[in-house]
Amino acid sequence: MPVSTYLVVALGAVVAGFVQGLSGFGFGLVALSFWAWVLDPKLAAVLAVAGGFTGQVVAAVSVRRGFDLKRLAPFVLGGLAGLPLGILLLPRLDADWFKVILGLLLLVWCPAMLFARNLPRITVGGRFADAVVGLGGGMMGGLGGFTGVLPTLWCTLRRYERDAQRAVIQNFNLAMLSVTVVTYVASGLVTRAMLPMLAVVLPAMLIPALLGARIYLGISEAMFRTLVLSLLILSGLALVGASLPRIL
């Protein structure tokens, strides 16, 4: 591969690592916005999962506030059920339409939440609703690798305080990515030819991820909410931008 490709891959890893360290999610969405132009989709997916998993391990060690197993468990159990369901549905479902609809939902709802700060907090559903959202996040992981989008939106609607929300998203993504990494390796999707790119991505994103986690510790509740909603809006743009041209 040309040197320019390695530079683009490294730049994508640096930016995505910082965003994930700061927000607790978003590595794949950010990295793929760089890598989709220069890499084969299968290689890009493996790099995104490997980088996201590494970033979540770094974040779990660096930021351990707000962890609550009872709150986290429904999300993770739902997500573990949703991952294989998403993989099974992938050949049968029009993934592009699914991503466009989800992206448009984010583009409508998240700006409303961002500019209308007095929207009511959602309290209904309890742990069952949390598990359903986890199921949706797991399915999104199976369909396209976007495990964190739905749980992040839901935690924001629940108005969890900053550290509690971060703990849910961070550990949910860590669990989902752990399963995905094992599945990729066991299925032979990770090949020897991918190792040079992995050797670029993993070191490139480590320091930015640590820096992002350090900055997170110093930001306010309001700033964190704005950051998360802004990233969800960008996620919506990425989903629509990636899928709409294929539909048209």
Distances (CA, A) of 50 to 54, 83, 109, 200: 6, 17, 30, 12
Q: Taking 80 as the threshold, does the pLDDT of residue 216 lie above it?
A: yes
More confident position, 220 or 88 = 220
Express each pLDDT in 105-119 by its tens digit.
788 878 877 776 666
CA distance 153 to 124: 15
User: How large is the average pLDDT for residues 34-46?
Assistant: 81
pLDDT computed for residue 65 by the predictor? 65
∠ Cα 220 79 225 (to 5°): 15
pTM of the model: 0.79
Q: Taking 90 as the threshold, does the pLDDT of residue 124 lie above it?
A: no
pLDDT computed for residue 129 by the predictor? 95
CA distance 189 to 185: 6
Instruction: From 134, 126, 125, 177, select the one nearest 153 (Cα to Cα).
Output: 134
pLDDT computed for residue 162 by the predictor? 85
CA distance 16 to 211: 12
pLDDT computed for residue 222 by the predictor? 82
Express each pLDDT in 48-63 by its tens digit.
888 988 988 887 777 6
Q: Taking 70 as the threshold, does the pLDDT of residue 95 lie above it?
A: no
- Domain residues of the chain, as ranges? 3-247
Q: Taking 70 as the threshold, does the pLDDT of residue 205 lie above it?
A: yes
